[in-house]
Chains A and B, each alone.
Chain A
Amino acid sequence: MTTNADVQSLFPLKLQNVSLNLNEKPVLKDVNLTISDHGVTVILGHNGAGKSMLLKILHGLLQPSSGTIHWGDTNHASDQVRRRQAMVFQKPVLLKRSVEANIKYALDLPHSHSKWSCVELLEHAELTPLANRAARSLSGGEQQRLAFARAMATGPEVLFLDEPTANLDPDATLHLESLIQTASASDIKVFLVTHDMGQAKRLATEILFMRNGSVEEHALKEDFFNRPSSPYCQSFIDGVLLSNNH
């Protein structure tokens, strides 16, 4: 972890009886979780299972309707927690500026404590030749790499990725996956929402499988794929088309 001695650790992350209602509809139901700072937590599940909502609650973009969330000893409602995290959205929200300016924007935030310079971040995401291009003129894969590099520019301890490769071709997907692996290797905790089973197998340390707003299974990758706890999990892994309600 990049945590200094005088800064409290964000882990373990603890959710107790967390529920979320949107427009009077339950989206998350009584979620209880303990997650360590280790590796990549991949969140799987069908559309509407509550994966993205869980991610947003963890990042503090949404407040739970009930229940408590603690990052280490810190109540998650504080801005202090979010400043040590970053998020990459499914559809990247790039500023209408150059590639370089997008990264500098995050670097120049008062709470950024990135170890890397703009040049290093560009180089790492292989965007150096595109530094002066308009960010929104890039290809989908390049845009997502830029969003990733910009997230890294805040120097996060936790990274939330909401289906970052959903609209990318295989090459672009692999490219982004290698960036995710490097980040994880440098002790950044990664939460990844994906629909791509292969990606889950490639990247995950542990799997959070969600169904109808509840956590159906929380297990190490090997256990999840080799010894699924329920027939529902098994059919999901096998790629059987299932209705969320069955």
Chain B
Amino acid sequence: MQDIWQSFELAWTLIVNLNPALSEIVLLSLRVSLTATLIACLVGMPLGALLGIRHFRGKWAVTVVLNTFMGMPPVVLGLLFYMVLSASGPLGWLQLLYTPGAMILVQVFLILPIVTALTKQIIEDAWVEYQPLFQSLCVSRSGAVKTMLWDTRTSLLTVSLAGFARAISEVGAVIVVGGNINHLTRVMTTAIALETSKGDLAMALALGMVLLMIALTVNAMVFSARQRLPV
């Protein structure tokens, strides 16, 4: 109990003093996870929408695989990307391993199934309602996708938040491809893992609280932006 109280104090001190080492880690966490979320949304949302309105053989199989990948353990994905990005791996020449770029890449693939699967579900539901209208107005498929992606914008914002939440909170993937290198690839979650392994549990918990504060801030900003979306 004492440890927990101590963590609250520590978290407070860290935030109030704007600890430079901490801000560096926080900023990198945000950079990596926000970029990954952005890319995953740009790719996953149109993809999910197409899956939602297209009928093809084996669609059920694609859906099942996609839904399964939502539960992909981050560390497994991290290992896969380690092997691919390793100097001896097929994409070693990119020299991405142990860089923020590798962390972004692995997180994109981590949250892409979530963004795609959830978007697919949302667009599928919207399609039932909109399909007769589009058919009546002779709207092309791509036009229909664009229209529905905009019309479901509030739901899709929540989807992007779900993706961001998964990205910012995972440690398994970024620690393997990022290496938790100080001043280069150390993010909130890998720092928490490090402090835990040093036995500094109070500090680890304090960092966890800071991470939650950041997630809270991002969610609050998105929520307020959502209120201001054009009608």
In-complex A–B contact (CB below 8 Å): yes
Chain A residues with CB under 8 Å of B147's CB are 95, 105
Nearest CB of B to A171, in Å: 26
Q: Is the C-beta of B139 less than 8 angstroms from some C-beta in chain A?
A: yes
Among A80-88, A188-196, A228-236, the stretch that binds chain B is: A80-88
Q: Is the C-beta of A111 less than 8 angstroms from some C-beta in chain B?
A: yes
Chain A residues with CB under 8 Å of B231's CB are 96-98, 132-135, 137
Flag B112-130 by CB within 8 Å of A: 1 or 0 each. 0000000000000000011
Which of these, A59, A97, A111, A133, contacts B136 with CB under 8 Å? A59
**Which residues in chain B, 136-187, are within 8 Å of chain A measured between CB atoms?**
136-139, 147, 150-153
Counting contact residues on chain A (CB < 8 A from B), the size range is 20 to 34
Which of these, A93, A97, A106, A109, contacts B130 with CB under 8 Å? A93
Do B138 and A61 touch (CB < 8 A)? Answer: no
Q: How far is the CA of A87 from the CA of B137 in the complex (A)?
A: 8
Nearest CB of A to B140, in Å: 9
**Which residues in chain A, 93-141, are within 8 Å of chain B measured between CB atoms?**
93, 95-98, 105-106, 109, 111, 132-135, 137
Do A83 and B132 touch (CB < 8 A)? Answer: no
Chain B residues with CB under 8 Å of A59's CB are 136
Do B230 and A89 touch (CB < 8 A)? Answer: no
Q: Is the C-beta of B133 less than 8 angstroms from some C-beta in chain A?
A: yes
Q: Is the C-beta of B68 less than 8 angstroms from some C-beta in chain A?
A: no
Chain B residues with CB under 8 Å of A97's CB are 150-151, 230-231
Q: How far is the CA of A67 from the CA of B116 in the complex (A)?
A: 42
Do B139 and A109 touch (CB < 8 A)? Answer: yes
Do A83 and B230 touch (CB < 8 A)? Answer: no
Q: How far is the CA of A86 from the CA of B139 in the complex (A)?
A: 12
Q: How far is the CA of A111 from the CA of B136 in the complex (A)?
A: 12
Do A106 and B137 touch (CB < 8 A)? Answer: yes
Chain B residues with CB under 8 Å of A135's CB are 231
Counting contact residues on chain B (CB < 8 A from A), the size range is 10 to 19
Nearest CB of B to A217, in Å: 28
Chain B residues with CB under 8 Å of A109's CB are 137-139
Q: How far is the CA of A78 from the CA of B17 in the complex (A)?
A: 70
Nearest CB of B to A188, in Å: 15
Chain A residues with CB under 8 Å of B129's CB are 93
Do A82 and B136 touch (CB < 8 A)? Answer: yes
Q: Which residue of B lies closest to A112 (CB)?
A: B137
Q: Is the C-beta of B135 less than 8 angstroms from some C-beta in chain A?
A: yes
Q: Taking each of A96, A105, A134, which has the highest tally of chain B beta carbons within 10 Å of its own beta carbon?
A: A96
Flag A126-162 by CB within 8 Å of B: 1 or 0 each. 0000001111010000000000000000100000000
Q: Is the C-beta of A79 less than 8 angstroms from some C-beta in chain B?
A: yes
Nearest CB of A to B192, in Å: 40
Q: Which residue of B lies closest to A135 (CB)?
A: B231
Nearest CB of B to A89, in Å: 7
Nearest CB of B to A156, in Å: 10
Q: Which residue of A lies closest to B135 (CB)?
A: A61
Nearest CB of B to A199, in Å: 22
Do A98 and B230 touch (CB < 8 A)? Answer: yes
Nearest CB of A to B46, in Å: 18
Q: Taking each of B129, B137, B153, which has the highest tally of chain A beta carbons within 10 Å of its own beta carbon?
A: B137
Do A79 and B151 touch (CB < 8 A)? Answer: no
Do A61 and B139 touch (CB < 8 A)? Answer: no
Q: How far is the CA of A40 from the CA of B136 in the complex (A)?
A: 20
Q: Contacts A98-B231, A105-B147, A132-B231 given; indicate if A154 touches B135 (C-beta within 8 A).
A: no
Which of these, A79, A93, A133, contacts B132 with CB under 8 Å? A93
Do A96 and B151 touch (CB < 8 A)? Answer: yes
Chain A residues with CB under 8 Å of B153's CB are 96
Q: What are 18 A-B interface contacts by the 8 Å CB criterion? A: A79-B138, A82-B136, A82-B138, A89-B132, A89-B133, A93-B130, A93-B132, A95-B147, A96-B151, A96-B152, A96-B153, A97-B151, A98-B230, A98-B231, A109-B139, A111-B138, A134-B231, A135-B231
A96-B151, A109-B137 given; 9 more Cβ-contact pairs under 8 Å: A59-B136, A79-B138, A86-B137, A89-B132, A95-B151, A96-B152, A97-B151, A111-B138, A134-B231
The 7 lowest CB-CB distance pairs between A and B, nearest first, are A134-B231, A93-B133, A96-B151, A87-B136, A98-B231, A83-B138, A61-B135
